[in-house]
Structure 1
């Protein structure tokens, strides 16, 4: 090979070994849209940015904004890449090979980062029940000064779960710490939502005011759908200081503006029968008076809605008079000149939906209100107060205890399944992904099972729960459920079993894959030089450290599956990838990796045979991922010449 050819060898693209660098991506997008905001060296020009957002010269600190201690650090930390990964735990899974549901054990911030490459803008519905910050619950102690090390690693041995920190009023930053914890997670959650996605957040009085400001900051005040008051404890809490609290809130935001009625839910069969007793070829309907029943509207301020209908002796309605027809105006019995709810053009267009009925000897005009348009299911808008007993926490507790066949409380105050089920009905369609990254006891998965069983749809769920240790003297610990995540997994298993028993003929995916958050399998430099050693000794120790960390990239090692999972997760192939070993390659183990409508050839062998390189070149139109250790300059040149931008190294 000539020196010229050697100079022309390009370095292959390294595969991603971290979650996406969201901070870099945001800056690149800003640069793409507004290149004039950057100076000649590609740095953001603060003066130009200020001029853009405040063209009239007003000071930025004079505008309305929501600030707290640590806000900017929290935002930056949200978009810092994660070097962690997920490993499968088939022994704790159900129907591992066939299911499309996920339960992930680990810190939800790190997990949300890792899911970005695969689930970016794919989640339709998020429901979360975060810590309420009562002073007695737990806050995730994110440390923004050590962004390279995930807190789940710092705060305790992984096998023992994660120690969380109670934040009391005495800490002086109780609300700021809580907001920092929530902001970073909601920023990442928003990126996972589809454009028509919706998030539901349960909260109580402690943080509802702050949470609404925060959510409006992240999702946009224009995307606020509503604040539902949920009657969860009708007896009230007698230990409360002033009022016996009996409610919680459900804040609802969409990612982008939705159409009117977008979060309506299907009416039950009983509701349809009760409310729509009449039927014709257009479906079931009820009759509503066409006259506006509010006297503040009438001929005096709605003259265009004041006009006559003409009714024959047989009750036929027309807008054009015929001999013998009776003229009917929207007048009240006392002579007040009212108005119709439809204009004359609308009435002429839908005249077949207008009927006349004699009431107390006088003709009255009605319109047919159908339960739904032809071909659509009848729907209704839910109200802003949910007081039905099905939402009571006591019902959630009873259902949970029944699953575990216990009278005592293994888990305190789980949410009602019906509460989350109604949220799912409001926000999802046929095969929506439902996410809960404060999964707790797993009620969200139970709700997905229930709603799928009822309507036959195929929603999938992703649950994330930190392995918080259960108290040693608790019933959960005595039952062998040493962490909240293990309790969640068991609850979802039991809920799936119960759903299958109650709906034996339904085709429901009641399985789930369990994954655990852990260290990356790719080499990382965690070596700290020893001041008592010479430079040469430290360099030698560093090489030894890196060599040891590379060993699990060798094909045949027991970590091979985990390495492939990390590659698939961080490069957008997902956790439900397929790996097919290609029989045409005999000198090296070559696979085809498929997932999320992507595919690549994959070979992680420490050396590549010449025969393999020649055979790989026949697939130059595909993506190829190989181990960087297997490439010397000659092999790198040969593959780069064949695959060009399709060559990637691990």
Structure 2
């Protein structure tokens, strides 16, 4: 009976298998350092296959390079022996929710998600630590040490003396940031669906590098634009005071996602309400309404969305409109007289002639869709109604009050507990614009306070969708953050530590995020009870399996007894189940039912997707196996130490072949 591997996917081997599919003669077998036979690439043969398209050595090519790139790529591909352990007591609606919150390092989480979510994520949101010239919480082991990189780049001498000024702005910090983000985006690409979207919040320090690294991973055509987010009015920097951030967009496949991204214009309700007031005051005096509307629009600053629709300043019985150009695309296309409805004289014609032929123009005039001036001396215009143009393409400039999201979060918690949270309502609108809808999955790999996760619920509540989320957040220690925090940030961190302490929760960022989700879920339930506002909380931990599971051949004779139980003593059957789900690539949110069969606990995942019995007392006999086979699960897994004897273990596969031939049988 085959054993589950019980570690994350080895992406290097997966890549080799893809090469083998394309060039079977270029892949062979070779012995690894541990003596095991594995697939290997014959690069000499591959060069011959691609002889006209190879760039190597010092040959110039377009690329982004930095110290640590090779190690970052290796880190992205290397497997890890980790698992996700369920934390049902920290979850909300654990048994029914489709949302997942993972506590732990996001690089490890992304590796663990490769099997169950490969090609399934519609949108990945990334709000990475901005490069401020400081070390990162996400400091992966391969990044170069500070002094080593400063010496390598010539910023300090061997004696540690600074050779250049302003070292924080130099190479090491860019290299560290790139080495941090590269493997994460590399793994994110695997998880995205063919029509998937990557959305990244970033400031000016790494904006250019982000675009370069994104196009390298996703492809030259993947970058589709960005939003410049005006969210500050600070004036405290030399040269140019940066008052905006960027939200950068990449798509995995333009053919699958042609970019029909639209959004409803902001401020429409204010406009409709204002014109209703003008109509009430002036009746059918359209000229008076036009004058009032123009004066009203002037009261708004250019940053207000209402101001962007100021050209909609006319009204008739059919609604609010603006007069658009009625001239033809070509000179003299349609030339004829159009009489003014009051003076009965021919109106002034546009320079290029009319856009419509005579019959079409007569129809539009009869329907009241042509705007005439006070007399025939002005060129008529075509009425374009606001109700027919309420949507627009996703625009590249946004004005967002950076304090609004902080105020809403402070109201939710009762006080400020997080600095500069992202705006969940802006993210909700982005999700809607790019087409997140029923059943789509949004993944946020740097969840922070949970803005991007709450935004999924806000989207569902606003349009009746059933989108799901996967949030990942490392348990960043707030007490450590407090040591370097200053001013308002120090007070806010103190507030968070005290608030979490009162609730008995550890003082870390992951706990802030989970608590925000609980509170936000309660608020949404006040509006509607039909939404899934729960989350299944999971925590990254070392593998459930003892070292002997991965290398039984290395045991000495005196250690043979370790083979009796190859699972760590502190792990529960639920822990084992979730590692099996990961290994077998099964959705982590499927419903789980625990049943008793012959007094043995058996887990059934989503009916018959998977059945698991982790009995370790040697109680799994042929009768129990036959009972499980009657359920005809697609997959079944047993604990190696759970079989009554070796005869039962040998017969298991035969029993399933007879009673349930569709079942795949494995053990741990």
TM-score by length of 2: 0.74
In the alignment, structure 1 residue 14 sits paired with structure 2 residue 23: no
- Tell me, yes or no, if structure 1 residue 263 matches structure 2 residue 261: yes
Equivalent of residue 106 in structure 2, options 84, 108, 127: 108
- Give the conservation status (yes or no) of the 8 Å contact 2:234–2:243: yes
**Residue 156 of structure 1 corresponds to which residue in structure 2?**
none
Contact 2:611/2:633, CA 8 A, preserved across alignment: no
Q: Which residue is 1:568 aligned to?
A: 581
Shift of 1:456: 2.5
1:445-460 paired onto structure 2 within 5 Å: 445-460=453-468
Give the C-alpha shift of residue 54 in structure 1.
Answer: 5.7
- For residue 512 of structure 1, report the CA deviation from its aligned partner: 2.0
Do 2:615 and 2:639's aligned partners in 1 also have CA atoms closer than 8 Å?
yes
* Distance in structure 2 (CA, Å) of the matches to 1:261 and 1:104: 31
Distance in 2 of aligned mates of 1:346 and 1:510 = 53
Which residue does the alignment assign to 2:154?
Answer: none
Q: Do the aligned residues in 1 keep the contact of 2:406 with 2:420 (CA within 8 Å)? A: yes
Q: Which residue of structure 2 aligns with residue 395 of structure 1?
A: 404
Q: Deviations over 1:124-147 (max 9, x none)?
A: 2222210111113524222259xx
* CA–CA separation in structure 2 for the residues paired with 1:68 and 1:527: 35
Q: How does 1:182-581 map to 2 (within 5 A)?
A: 182-236=181-235, 238=236, 240-257=237-254, 261-267=259-265, 270=269, 273=272, 288-291=324-327, 298-299=330-331, 306-308=333-335, 331-332=350-351, 337=352, 340=355, 356-359=370-373, 360-361=375-376, 378-387=390-399, 391-406=400-415, 409-427=416-434, 428-471=436-479, 474-475=493-494, 476-479=496-499, 480=501, 482-501=507-526, 504-505=527-528, 507-525=530-548, 539=556, 542-543=559-560, 547=564, 549-550=566-567, 552=569, 559-581=572-594
Shift of 1:70: 2.0
SS at match of 1:262: coil
C-alpha displacement at 1:649, in angstroms? 1.5
The aligned residue for residue 80 of structure 2 is 82
1:110 CA drift (Å): 0.6
Q: The residue matched to 1:510 in structure 2 has which SS? A: coil
Q: What is the rounded CA distance, in whole Å, between the counterparts of 1:432 and 1:465 in structure 2?
A: 21
Deviations 1:384-434 (A, max 9, x none): 1112xxx2322222222222222xx43222222233223222231233222
Matched pairs, number: 569
Of residues 170-179 and 49-58 in structure 1, the stretch that sits farther from structure 2 once superposed is 49-58
Contact 1:264 1:379 in 2 (8 A): yes
Aligned counterparts of 2:626 and 2:90: Cα–Cα separation in 1: 43
Are the equivalent residues in 1 in contact too, given 2:196–2:257 (CA < 8 A)? no
2:601–2:615: 8 Å Cα contact kept in structure 1?
yes
Instruction: Give the TM-score normalised by the residue count of structure 1.
Output: 0.76
Quote the offset at 1:213 in angstroms.
0.2
Could you tell me how far apart the structure 2 residues matched to 1:346 and 1:71 are? 63
**Which one of the candidate residues 602, 607, 616 is aligned to 2:612?**
602
Flag the 1:225–1:514 CA change in 2: closer, same or farther, 3 A.
same
Give the Cα–Cα distance (whole angstroms) in 1 for the partners of residues 232 and 349 of structure 2.
47
Partner of 2:294: none
Q: SS of the counterpart of 2:253?
A: coil
What displacement does 1:612 show? 2.5
Distance 1:624 1:19 in 2: 20
CA change 1:353–1:243 in 2 (3 A) is same
Provide the alpha-carbon RMSD of the alignment.
4.1
Q: Is the 8 A contact 1:599 1:623 kept in 2?
A: yes
| Structure 2: distance between partners of 1:439 and 1:445 | 7
1:647 corresponds in structure 2 to: 665
Contact 2:564 2:641 in 1 (8 A): no
| Unmatched 5+ stretches in structure 1 | 1-11, 146-166, 316-324, 530-534
Residue 116 of structure 2 aligns to a residue whose secondary structure is helix
1:541/1:270 Cα in 2 relative to 1: closer, same or farther (>3 Å)?
A: farther
CA contact (8 A) 2:549 2:566 kept: no
